[in-house]
């Protein structure tokens, strides 16, 4: 078994004066060594909170209230439940950066404008490795080279504002990778970048992954990005996993009406001249505080079965060892139910 991370029934809730928001409500997923698991969904679906939960980076009033996040960087170690660690403790701090790296959407916001690229990279390296300053500096230059920054020696003395957004994101990736993490968590790392730069950063991440065999959890709202980079896909809706499967299963044979609608709503990708939106998903994502009863997608679903989907939580339907959807249209073995067939809804 080469699983590095297994999240089981994770609950991350935000307690506000107006009530409890279940931003993550029962998410389970696993990440195999060397693979990329994309977590995809519209904004507010809980994908970022899921990512931040892994490293105990959820900000108050958010809190992990249930489930487990088991981590094992290699087959020789024991499983550690990250969800049970003290968010400010030494253990999680060591794992952050040492074993699990993270890059965020806004590289500028993660780098300090006050210090040079070199200072920040050297500091990150020294935090996790017993190197003196000169050694750490050497390694920092290597890392900048590795992430495709031209004239790395000169860039060491640059301040973040002197670099483009794409270059800053490369620096952040260099920081995240400087300790050879077994897992990289990337939360919309290319969303703030233009299309060309985005493609280059995705290529870079794929190359680095080939070289190091690290795993990635890649958070995005963009199915085009998912098609580029994913091995496995987790589709989230309102804090829950609607469907998960291999990238082929999700793109070629989506089962959940939400996944199907998402795929219909993406602009046609490469190989086509038209980039228009094919169809928008009707209605709006309900506020997580007013989560609909039954299937959370029923207010927008064209296949919703009245009296069922709006009342009962959908069961798990399994289509293959990896391919699972939560939907009333299917039975546990992934066959269309008799009612569904009779109504011709799917
Ligand atoms: Fe649509 Fe019902 Fe399936 Fe939800 S459970 S996705 S409402 S058919
Ligand atoms: Mg987000």
Q: What are phi and psi of 97, to 5 degrees?
A: 90, -40
Give the closest residue (by CA) to ligand 1 atom 3. 327
For residue 219, is it left (φ>0), alpha (ψ between -120 and 50) or beta?
Answer: beta
Distance, CA of 176 to CA of 172 (rounded, Å): 6
Residue 273: the pLDDT is 44
C-alpha distances in Å from residue 156, one per residue of 115, 151, 310: 10, 9, 57
Q: Considering every ligand atom shown, identify the ligand nearest to the alpha carbon of residue 306 and give its number.
A: 1
Distance, CA of 72 to CA of 59 (rounded, Å): 25
Residue 267: the pLDDT is 66
What's the CA-to-centroid distance between 56 and ligand 1, angstroms?
A: 32
CA angle at 255 for the pair 250 and 258, rounded to the nearest 5° = 90
Per-residue pLDDT 10s for the chain (346 aa) are 699 999 999 999 999 988 899 999 999 999 999 999 999 998 889 999 999 999 999 999 999 999 999 999 988 999 999 999 998 899 999 899 889 999 988 777 778 889 999 999 999 899 888 999 999 999 999 999 989 999 999 999 999 999 998 999 999 999 898 888 999 999 999 888 888 888 989 999 999 999 999 999 999 999 999 999 999 999 999 999 999 999 999 999 999 999 999 998 876 554 444 444 456 788 888 887 888 999 999 999 999 999 999 999 999 999 999 999 999 999 999 999 977 777 665 5
What's the CA-to-centroid distance between 238 and ligand 2, angstroms?
A: 13
Q: State which H helix or E strand residue 295 sits in.
A: none
Pocket-forming residues, ligand 1, beta carbon under 6 Å? 256-258, 295, 297-298, 301, 303-305, 309, 314, 327-329
C-alpha distances in Å from residue 271, one per residue of 12, 267, 268: 40, 12, 8
Q: What are phi and psi of 281, to 5 degrees?
A: -75, 130
Q: Considering every ligand atom shown, identify the ligand nearest to the alpha carbon of residue 305 and give its number.
A: 1
What's the CA-to-centroid distance between 237 and ligand 1, angstroms?
A: 12
What's the CA-to-centroid distance between 104 and ligand 2, angstroms?
A: 9
Which residues make up the environment of ion ligand 2, defined by Cβ < 5 Å?
48
pTM over 0.95: no
Give the closest residue (by CA) to ligand 1 atom 5. 327
What's the CA-to-centroid distance between 332 and ligand 1, angstroms?
A: 14
Residue 301 Cα: closest atom of ligand 1 = 1
Residue 46: the pLDDT is 95
Pocket residue to mutate for ligand 1, from 241, 324, 328, 337, most atoms within 8 A of Cβ: 328
What's the CA-to-centroid distance between 186 and ligand 1, angstroms?
A: 30
**ipTM score of complex:** 0.95
Ranges of H-type helices in the chain: 47-54, 90-98, 107-110, 117-128, 133-146, 152-155, 165-177, 195-212, 223-229, 247-252, 257-265, 338-343
β-sheet with 19-32: strand ranges across: 19-32, 3-16, 62-71, 80-81
Domains present along the chain, CATH in parentheses: 3-99+181-343 (3.40.50.300)
CB 65 within 8 Å of CB 9:
no
Residue 298 Cα: closest atom of ligand 1 = 7
Q: Considering every ligand atom shown, identify the ligand nearest to the alpha carbon of residue 240 and give its number.
A: 1
Distance, CA of 54 to CA of 183 (rounded, Å): 11
């Amino acid at each position: 078994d080469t699983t590095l991370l297994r999240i089981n029934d994770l609950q991350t809730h935000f307690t506000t004066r107006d009530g409890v928001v279940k931003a993550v409500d029962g998410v389970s997923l696993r990440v195999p060594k060397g693979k990329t698991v994309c977590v995809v969904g519209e904004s507010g679906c809980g994908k970022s909170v899921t990512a931040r939960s892994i490293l105990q980076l959820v900000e108050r009033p958010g809190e992990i209230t249930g489930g487990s996040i088991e981590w094992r960087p290699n087959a020789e170690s024991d499983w550690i439940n990250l969800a049970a660690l003290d968010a400010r403790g030494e253990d999680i701090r060591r794992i952050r950066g040492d074993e699990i790296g993270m890059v965020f959407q806004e590289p500028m916001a993660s780098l300090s404008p006050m210090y040079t690229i070199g200072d920040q990279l050297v500091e990150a390296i020294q935090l996790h490795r017993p190197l003196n300053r000169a050694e750490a500096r050497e390694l920092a230059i290597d890392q900048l080279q590795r992430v495709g920054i031209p004239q790395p020696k000169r860039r060491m003395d640059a301040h973040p504002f002197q670099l483009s957004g794409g270059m800053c994101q490369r620096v952040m990736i260099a920081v995240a990778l400087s300790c050879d993490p077994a897992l990289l968590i990337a939360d919309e790392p290319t969303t703030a970048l233009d299309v060309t730069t985005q493609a280059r950063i995705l290529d870079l991440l794929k190359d680095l992954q080939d070289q190091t065999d690290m795993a990635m959890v890649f958070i995005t709202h963009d199915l085009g990005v998912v098609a580029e980079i994913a091995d496995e896909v987790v589709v989230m809706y309102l804090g829950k996993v609607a469907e998960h499967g291999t990238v082929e299963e999700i793109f070629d044979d989506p089962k959940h009406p939400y996944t199907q609608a998402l795929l219909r709503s993406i602009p046609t990708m490469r190989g086509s001249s038209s980039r228009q939106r094919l169809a928008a998903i009707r209605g709006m994502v309900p506020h997580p505080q007013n989560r609909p009863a039954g299937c959370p997608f029923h207010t927008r679903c064209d296949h919703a079965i009245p009296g069922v989907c709006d009342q009962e939580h959908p069961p798990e339907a399994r289509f293959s060892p990896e391919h699972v959807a939560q939907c009333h249209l299917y039975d546990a073995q992934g066959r269309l139910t008799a009612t569904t067939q009779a109504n011709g809804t799917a």
